[in-house]
Structure 1
Amino acid sequence: MIKDSSIAPGFRGDINGLRAWAVLAVIFYHFGVPGFGGGFVGVDVFFVISGFLMTGIVVNGLERGGFSLLAFYLARARRILPALIVLCAVLLTLGWWVLLPLDYKALGAHAVSSLVFLSNIKFWREAGYFDAASHEKWLLHTWSLAVEWQFYLLLPVVLLGVWKWRPGRRGVVVVMVVGLLTSLALSVVVTSLRPTAAFYLLPTRAWEMLAGGLVFLLANRWALTARQRTVLEMAGIALVIGSIAGFAASSPWPGWRAMVPVIGTAAVLLAAQPASRWTGSSIAQWLGTRSYSLYLWHWPIVVALTYLEWQADSMAIVAGLVLTLVLGDLSYRLVEVPARVHLNRFRLGWGAAALLGTAIAMAAPGAAVFLKDGVTGRFASEIEVIEAEALNKNPRQGACHIGTGAGSPSCRFGGEQLRAIVMGDSHANAIVSAVAAATLSSKDGVMEWTSSGCPIMQGVKSTIFENWPCVDFINWAVREMKGISSEIPVVIVNRHGQYALGKNEGHGKSNIPEVYFSRQYATSDSEYLKEYGDHLTDTACQLALSRPVYLVRPIPELGTDVPKTARSMVWGQRTDASISLADYHQRNAFVLKAQDAARDRCGVKILDPLPYLCPDGRCIDVKNGRPIYYDDDHLSEYGNKLLIPMFAEMFRLNSGSSAGI
């Protein structure tokens, strides 16, 4: 029988029990268990613990005079890599049988980035308006492992340099305090400006680990009584629990808010209560010992529930939690412990070579899957055609559709003779090629002015973003129009349902406004919708004073990602994503009323896509076996061509305008 080598001399049960709190918080949060809306702070708890333990290892080694960088890195690799390699191997193997090419390609890329501990950078670069839902990335949780590993790489090098400059703990404390304050300040600033970068990257997370390191360095300076330790621990636990219950996914993170669980964790570490009722129970010790494997395996199970559309099924959630415990225990007993025991028997160089070779051997198939575009041909062609439509979007989306900033690249589509300006949000970006294809001559073209998540209404404000670029974009567009011939019409396309009522994809709260004007409303009540409609009408009429204005009726929002319905076809099913006209009218009644008011008041023209997208009383998701959307609400390049007759009629009506620039 292999002995559990994780119970090492100096083992602190309170830290192990604190790991249990952290991993349970993360797991319950990801499974959507009520009361754990801020469970993501468990990662922050892990960061502080890691900083405490790693600083202790390095400083103790330096004080003994026998610290080895290679031995430190190998010990960390022995702890992290074996279970991660097994997880990647299992996912890539199962993925061959159940994941369609696009999903399998993404898994391959994420496996490689996880194994080289760069997944935090990978997910940061993927994140954004057009990013796939986080619950569809099988290895998303490995971002935190990457952050920790990057910290592990830098910490001993920095401390070695400080130690040579000024031996002893005092110099280390000074450097770590400076590092903590710098990283914390950066975190606070970047969280408000670039929240995704702040969440994923080491510079804005390092302060959390440095906080743990400082607790280790300063702990012996205070002689605490037993009562003081008890009070300190209870205060720390209260801060951690308060963070779990009080914060939510909408809380900007990390920033200053992360100080709450970080200070709480630091307090528990400083209290050092080995027999605490909070951390010392047998259940807490069992969970804490297996926390790494539990963390590794819980997230793929959460993703699997999403793939199977069981994420809201209470019985499926319970089964997922039980499976997490089973797989976490098996991974700990059959992978973590044996790997550490056997790798400890190797000489330093051989152990490093064995781990590196195994990691490369696992990364190679992941890279091959990515380079082979997910290995097409494993499923029936009609299934893969449906999934592939997710990529059939405006090929110039990245260059022409802006996410931030006041201006626009003013991309031209079609010929050089300008015949229309297409203006709006991502729904406008999704149909601009159809507008260009509808022009009357090959010399005619259109210009795109679109900004992500931006409703074209003056005076609009966001309930979500503090520094919202939409306002600057609208003001810029109004100024730019003054330099363009008044005969050139503007075609406005917006997803008004989302801004006024919230998204309808099954996540997020409904009837909660995303924008406001005079004041913020708690819900999208009739008073709010009237104010919204009035601003829509007023803006359209204001623009109509200087040029023809065409308002496109809202594109139907299906609420179901159409290309991803191919996943259910793998299991012999087909999800119908179409919606009824009645559902469409119920969601968009306030928009239609406001657009009609603009038509009646100031001669704005209405373009109605419903005859082309909603035949026979239903708004379709597929035509001729192929999706007309590249997700749940954006028309694909195939689907938008259904609207060419509508835009062609617009150009015929406006054919008297011959001016252009």
Structure 2
Amino acid sequence: MRAQCRMTWFRGLEGVRAWLALAVLVEHVVGLTALPDHHPATRQLVHAGDSAVSVFIVISGFVITHMILARHEPYPLYLARRLLRLYPVYAVCLLLGLVSTLLLNRIMPLQPWGAAIPFTQAMARARASLAGNGLPLHLALHLSLLHGLVPDNLLFRAQLALLTPAWSLSLEWQFYLLAPLVVLALRRPDTTLLVTAIALGLYLLARKGVPGPYLMPSLLPASALPFALGIATRLILPGVPTRRSLPLSLPLLLAVALHTLAPGQGYLVVWAVLVLYMTTQSPIDPLSRIAFRLLHAGLDSRVALWAGRRSYCVYLLHFPILQLLLCAAGAWHLGYWMTVATLAIAGLPLTLLGADLLHRHVEQPGITLGRTLAARWHQATPAPASTRLTRASRPNLVT
């Protein structure tokens, strides 16, 4: 009974999304202003943002696998619910991203300090890619959510041209299209090895630059490992025994090993701590009790849950807002440090305000419509009693 309760409440997942979205926002404040060129220590903030996106991908593999196992929905309904969950917010942010990108392409190079930063230099090539027929092509790819498939040698910055964070959304959509088939195959002993071998082979090809160069790992095989980690965790979690303490030595040793052997893989430490937190019940020793309470305060407090429910909106919306703030700083002829201060101080509250409006008026109606479609399908084709989820046992996840 205890294991069943744990499996229907994935503690910490909602709250950690809030911290991940915040880390990505901070990374983009640092990156847009080239702050590491002035203070090299801030480069660690960029690495933290990269790890945050990787944790988002692991969580996606975990949650989507759980949905497939728990809901038993037909493929068209599954895709419709995913689309209703993602696309309304994405469409609004894509429009804002298009406007802010075109404005920034005009204003940023005119700044006295702007021409010296790498972001502005990349914008020069981006402007050429958007010129002529390039803009309709970029827009069509973004509207299809397939822009992450296109390598840079075919269309420069296809993954990032109009809404930079959406490169990972294209990656997610590729995963959603294949996830039911992959999860079904992994649950069958006769096909598990085949699917694993295919995924590993495609991953190695992507690492070698096939089918072309990508600025971000937006092609599904290139990000196969984080997705696989999330899938594998969900498949084996029912067999993981409940712990009475947090073995903190495990993530610490993992952190040391990763820092030595595989820099940039810090997302594994975050995921290890989160899994330990999910599988820990009522810690008894003082150190574990303190760690458990700190994690609970950071991941399951009301503030963390509120922000976590809006994390998808924060993730997509923050970049157009930062770009618009850069445009405003340029229009007001602010100096470099005043521009950095403007983004750092105004970026988060404006993003949270906009994200709350998007969540309540755009995202939530889409989720509700998806649930309505699912309810109608369940009424038309009632599931056997053994496979139904009661209201008390449904996972507490916004999906």
TM-score bin (small chain):
0.5 to 0.7
Pairs within 5 Å for 1:324-473: 324-346=351-373
Q: Tell me how far apart the structure 2 counterparts of residues 304 and 108 of structure 1 sit (CA, whole Å).
A: 22
TM-score of the two chains, using structure 2 as the length reference: 0.65
The correspondence for 1:216, drawn from 221, 234, 244, is: 234
Residues 1:178 and 2:176 are matched in the alignment: no
Output the amino acid matched with 1:276. H
Shift of the 104–299 alpha-carbon distance from structure 1 to 2, 3 Å rule, reads farther
**1:227 match: secondary structure:** coil
Q: Tell me how far apart the structure 2 counterparts of residues 222 and 282 of structure 1 sit (CA, whole Å).
A: 28
Larger radius of gyration: 1
The correspondence for 2:45, drawn from 36, 40, 52, is: 36
- Deviations along 1:40-60, whole A, 9 cap, x unmatched? 221111110001111122233
The correspondence for 2:24, drawn from 14, 26, 29, is: 26
Shift of the 224–300 alpha-carbon distance from structure 1 to 2, 3 Å rule, reads same
Q: Tell me how far apart the structure 2 counterparts of residues 176 and 221 of structure 1 sit (CA, whole Å).
A: 22
Shift of the 132–190 alpha-carbon distance from structure 1 to 2, 3 Å rule, reads closer
- Deviations along 1:36-94, whole A, 9 cap, x unmatched? 12122211111100011111222334xxxx44111211111111001011223445577
Residues 1:119 and 2:147 are matched in the alignment: yes
Pairs within 5 Å for 1:147-162: 147-160=171-184, 162=185
Output the amino acid matched with 2:168. S
The correspondence for 1:316, drawn from 315, 320, 342, is: 342
Q: Tell me how far apart the structure 2 counterparts of residues 328 and 345 of structure 1 sit (CA, whole Å).
A: 24
Matched residue, 2:383: none
Q: Tell me how far apart the structure 2 counterparts of residues 93 and 227 of structure 1 sit (CA, whole Å).
A: 51
Residues 1:69 and 2:75 are matched in the alignment: yes
Q: Tell me how far apart the structure 1 counterparts of residues 255 and 199 of structure 2 sit (CA, whole Å).
A: 20
Shift of the 223–95 alpha-carbon distance from structure 1 to 2, 3 Å rule, reads closer
Q: Tell me how far apart the structure 1 counterparts of residues 25 and 271 of structure 2 sit (CA, whole Å).
A: 18
CA contact (8 A) 1:16 1:289 kept: yes
CA contact (8 A) 1:96 1:104 kept: no
Shift of the 140–304 alpha-carbon distance from structure 1 to 2, 3 Å rule, reads same
**2:217 match: secondary structure:** helix
Q: Tell me how far apart the structure 2 counterparts of residues 235 and 115 of structure 1 sit (CA, whole Å).
A: 42
Cα offset for 1:31? 0.5
Shift of the 295–197 alpha-carbon distance from structure 1 to 2, 3 Å rule, reads closer
The correspondence for 2:316, drawn from 293, 296, 299, is: 296
- Deviations along 1:415-452, whole A, 9 cap, x unmatched? xxxxxxxxxxxxxxxxxxxxxxxxxxxxxxxxxxxxxx
Output the amino acid matched with 1:50. S
Shift of the 198–172 alpha-carbon distance from structure 1 to 2, 3 Å rule, reads farther
The correspondence for 1:47, drawn from 57, 70, 86, is: 57
Q: Tell me how far apart the structure 2 counterparts of residues 322 and 114 of structure 1 sit (CA, whole Å).
A: 27
CA contact (8 A) 1:183 1:205 kept: no
Q: Tell me how far apart the structure 1 counterparts of residues 297 and 229 of structure 2 sit (CA, whole Å).
A: 25
Q: Tell me how far apart the structure 2 counterparts of residues 239 and 42 of structure 1 sit (CA, whole Å).
A: 15
Residues 1:139 and 2:163 are matched in the alignment: yes
Residues 1:17 and 2:15 are matched in the alignment: yes
CA contact (8 A) 2:84 2:369 kept: no
Shift of the 279–104 alpha-carbon distance from structure 1 to 2, 3 Å rule, reads farther
**1:200 match: secondary structure:** coil
Whose strand proportion is higher, 1 or 2? 1
CA contact (8 A) 1:17 1:284 kept: yes
Matched residue, 2:94: 88
The correspondence for 2:300, drawn from 280, 294, 306, is: 280
- Residue identity over aligned pairs, in percent, reads 26
CA contact (8 A) 1:188 1:256 kept: no
Cα offset for 1:25? 1.4
Cα offset for 1:320? 2.1
Output the amino acid matched with 2:303. I
Cα offset for 1:22? 1.6
C-alpha RMSD of matched pairs (Å): 4.1
CA contact (8 A) 2:15 2:304 kept: yes
TM-score of the two chains, using structure 1 as the length reference: 0.41
Output the amino acid matched with 1:48. V
Shift of the 298–198 alpha-carbon distance from structure 1 to 2, 3 Å rule, reads closer
- Deviations along 1:83-122, whole A, 9 cap, x unmatched? 0112234455778999879768765543332221112134
CA contact (8 A) 1:83 1:331 kept: yes
CA contact (8 A) 2:24 2:53 kept: yes
Q: Which blocks of at least 5 consecutive residues in structure 2 are unaligned? A: 1-6, 36-41, 107-126, 281-294, 378-399
Residue correspondences, number: 316
